Structure 1
């Protein structure tokens, strides 16, 4: 069940696990963009209160906790055990009862709980696995008919190589060197095709931009580097 995971990627995030909740650490960009991601999800779905959500590739739980704070019942899943332990500890320390975590693959959970979630999020994760389409398919199986699936990743082109790897990892040092592999980046057309083949209908695509001078992030229509996709499952799906 753990075949669709890269041991090197899991080890990389495990080594940094203790830094997940340090807003000035290597995970600073995730802390900065989290309000944008959360706001966009709510803009698409409406209030999260009472919704059952699974956060695939939850890492240390930054997005998972934020959704639970909005009143959702959130399950965060990941295969990096040390990251999950950090997420569990932080939830205990913050008193956030609406979130729980499991060491389980998306594919295994989809086989166990098909169609049990109102919303599925999978952020900054598909570019770190050997078979991204299998993750998208698992997300589609996890969500209820009419439910939402949210994905984010990095486009594959010269600009994204220069911005996301050369710029972010080596010049600005926003991320540790080696965080991303350019060959694993995914073009929007490729991700959209995987979504459609999994029975999901893309509803909206947004790009995420960063100004290194002002250190400000924002969403717009430019998907040339970082981008997010919102999909819905057919309400009549079996």
Structure 2
């Protein structure tokens, strides 16, 4: 069945293999734990999550989904990696996280099933792992209500991002397992902006995310040359 889905079986297997380590802040997922407060607060500042119906696309083990639920949102996290979803459900149960649930379903299938159902949609660190990111952007646009927000984060494609996100992060500093990213799948901001426009989304805010490997600190800035975030909005009907 996976050959008909917008998913790379090798990518799903890779993240499933690491699933049991998802909530270990000292594991391969340490960068996700470190950047999560930044992206969570950025989203919450733009659109207050409390009381919202939120979809987290490519939720993995639930790091962002769980934190958005703790901000008062009703959250659905979706992914195609079965083991990661089991970890997400188990963590929600153990931590007593309210208002969060998880489903194994593609974003395209959910868009056909429940269009215009969510106040906010997030798709973070996921687009660079799928065969057809344009299809994901379009599905996210269909899932959000008119006037609602869709947030994306991904990695730029240039010499600097290759040096920092692959050579440094995976081989020199070993922040991530080797093979986590493929340079050819990185997405330039202009390409993502074009995909958003084609999907009927207006790009409202753009931010870069920087990292100091010596201090371990992450911060948001205007520099989108490596990691960057988009806040987009579906126009009112």
**Is 1:32 the equivalent of 2:34?**
yes
Report the equivalent of 2:220.
219
Kept in 1: contact 2:70–2:98 (CA 8 A): no
Structure 1, unaligned runs of 5 or more: none
Match of 2:131 in 1: 130
- The whole-number CA distance in structure 1 between the counterparts of 2:41 and 2:104 is 27
Rounded Cα–Cα distance in structure 2 between residues aligned with 1:97 and 1:91: 8
1:143, distance to aligned residue in structure 2 (A): 0.1
Once the two structures are superposed, residues 173-221 of structure 1 have per-residue CA deviations (whole angstroms, 9 ceiling, x without a partner) of 1100000000000000000000000000000100000001111000000
Report the aligned-residue RMSD. 0.7
Q: 1:12: which partner in 2?
A: 14
**Partner Cα separation in structure 2 for residue 82 and residue 97 of structure 1:** 21
The equivalent of 1:49 in structure 2 is: 50
Contiguous gaps of at least 5 residues in structure 2: none
Superposition deviation, residue 43 in structure 1: 1.3
**Using the alignment, how far apart are the partners of 2:26 and 2:91 within structure 1?**
17
Normalised to the residue count of structure 1, the TM-score between the two structures is: 0.98
**Residues 167-186 of structure 1 correspond to what in structure 2 (within 5 A)?**
167-186=168-187
Task: Give the total of aligned pairs.
Answer: 235
> Corresponding residue for 1:21?
23
Alpha-carbon shift at residue 97 of structure 1 (Å): 2.1
Q: Distance in 2 between matches of 1:212 and 1:34?
A: 17
User: Which residue does 1:194 correspond to in 2?
Assistant: 195
Q: How many angstroms does 1:89 deviate by?
A: 0.2
1:116 corresponds in structure 2 to: 117
Aligned equivalent of 2:231 = 230
- SS of corresponding position for 1:36: helix
